[in-house]
Structure 1
Amino acid sequence: MRIVRLYHPDPIQQGDQVQLSDDAAGHVARVLRMRVGDGITLFNGDGNAYHGALIEVAKRSVKAEISSVEAANTESPLAIHLGQGISRGDKMDLTIQKSVELGVTEITPLITERCGVKLNADRWDKKVVHWQKVAISACEQCGRNRLPVVNPPQQLSDWLAREIHATRITLHPHTDTSFATMEQPGESVELLIGPEGGLSEQEVTLAEQQGCKTIKLGPRILRTETAALVAISALQLRFGDLG
């Protein structure tokens, strides 16, 4: 039987009796219908996996006792920061979920010229909380013990203007460089992906002026969520831990 993995936001030690958060407790008690004695693994983002068993399962309270700690590194040697043009509906959720599964370490939602999502500050805050939950759920599923950072949305120009020490790339159909011919990027990459409708020519020019290299995926134009995941996969296959 598969051991359930759940995120716990607080420090954990071997021997602790851990009170699960409301979200985790509801998932354990109401969705999974787990019972006292069932095995469980917790992680809090410090890189360790904390193994134990449930000692209390009630509607309003679920506790687990931690019996062992495992240093389990499932992180890629290549740190990828995804700058993703914000897309509508479930597409952004899908991009965040799958990019976390593929090993990105940081995600910044970007407001671009063709971004179709217009929200006020309060609703942006709620979106970020939601996207963080999507990232946590993806970590629970895929076995990562470190949480990727999900930043608040930024204007593309502000994101590009940051001083960085990473190789910065974006996708463009009219360039000679492909992932197969790309030079070794070092230990970190910033990947810029446009929203639905792509980046404008002015935005591509601005990105190039800020040191962004253009990479061609192939002869077909991909949807934004497809482009991000294919590009991350290509980077991980050549320079990371896929393969």
Structure 2
Amino acid sequence: MTPRLHAPVELAAGHEADLPPNATRHVQVLRLQPGAELTLFDGRGGEWRAEVLAIGRKDVRVRAIEAMPVERELPMRVVLALGMPANERMDTLVEKATELGAAAIQPLVCERSVLRVAGERAEKKAAHWQAIVIAACEQCGRNRVPPVHAPLPLREWMASLEAGDAATQRLLLSLDDDARPIAAARRGGTDALFLSGPEGGLSEGELALARSRGFAPVSLGSRVLRADTAPLAALAVIAALEAASSPGGAA
């Protein structure tokens, strides 16, 4: 399989460029040789067929050969806003959400959150998760790199939201009695903003705030899923629903 590397450099047919440090290390670890073929993507869409020209101790020079307008995104934007699970579970959540097609991830600090970060530590966490996203894109074939925003307190994030619009459906993962199954609540063809709580769930005040900002409660069933499982399951459900409703999709 041709190696896929994220290379946010200027690419044009016949253009030569030095790979950034992360991609350079990848080429060296794979022990590629001059003449080896690569697939490069800058994270903004499409990819390039390229070849290795030269490999030094600290740099790798490549030449772009052909642009390939390949897209592997979901037909709609699905943004995950979630109470961060503790320990390494957030790392796995970010990786799998990228593979499943999340358009962006907003980590949140909620009243019942175990993991609490702010300031410089929050920025470092976001940078760490962004690196995981890039690696996941290289592996799964995505050519658009979804951003992982710096963690914010839930109420601060809520205050920053603009008024709802018909193009984006706001959904709240909930166990409340009035929560509808995602398949029943979902408006096909619209973007989605999913809100999911941390290990202890959202507080009553946070739930009320979410509802007041237009988030409709939806359910994944009667089982209580972990904080790192629920948003991934919701993302997978939406992806499956859209695939089934698209031309040529399953009935």
Equivalent position to 2:125, from 122, 127, 130:
127
Confirm or deny: 8 A CA contact 1:77 1:187 kept in the other structure: no
Distance in 1 (alpha carbons) for counterparts of 2:87 and 2:40:
30
Cα drift, residue 180 of structure 1: 2.5
Residue 186 of structure 1: CA displacement?
Answer: 4.1
Structure 1 residues 105 and 125: CA distance shift in structure 2, 3 A = same
Quote the RMSD (CA, aligned, Å): 1.6
TM-score by length of 2: 0.91
Q: Displacement of 1:10 after TM fit? A: 2.3
Report deviation, 1:176: 4.5
- In 2: Cα distance, 1:50 partner to 1:167 partner: 34
| Stretch of structure 1 that moved more, 157-166 or 222-231 | 157-166
For residues 51-87 of structure 1, the C-alpha deviation after alignment (integer angstroms, 9 at most, x for no partner) is 1111112221111111111001111111011101112
Normalising by structure 1, report the TM-score. Answer: 0.93
Q: Which residue matches 1:154?
A: 152
Structure 1 runs (4+) greater than 3 angstroms displaced: 240-243
Partners of 2:35 and 2:146 lie apart in 1 by 31
Amino acid at match of 2:110: T
Gaps of at least 5 residues in structure 2 are none
Gaps of 5+ in 1: none
For 2:221 and 2:77, how far apart are their aligned partners in 1?
Answer: 24
Structure 1 counterpart of 2:24: 25
Q: What is the alpha-carbon distance in structure 1 between the residues aligned to residue 179 and residue 142 of structure 2?
A: 35
Quote how far apart the aligned CAs of 1:185 are. Answer: 4.9
Q: Distance in 2 between matches of 1:133 and 1:50?
A: 21
**Once the 2 structures are TM-superposed, how far is the Cα of residue 95 of structure 1 from its aligned partner?**
0.9
Q: Residues 87 and 72 (structure 1 numbering): CA distance in 2 closer, same or farther, change over 3 Å?
A: same
Secondary structure of the structure 2 residue equivalent to 1:181: helix
Aligned mate of 1:111, from 109, 112, 116: 109
Match of 2:229 in 1: 226
**Is the 8 Å Cα contact of residues 167 and 185 (structure 1) preserved in structure 2?**
no
What is the CA–CA distance in structure 2 between the aligned matches of 1:11 and 1:46, rounded to whole Å? 12
Judge conservation of contact 2:9–2:17 (CA < 8 Å) in 1: no
Determine which of 168, 171, 175 is the counterpart of 1:169. 171
* Counterpart residue number, 1:182: 185
- Match for residue 143 of structure 1 among 135, 141, 144: 141
Of 201, 204, 210, the match for 1:198: 201
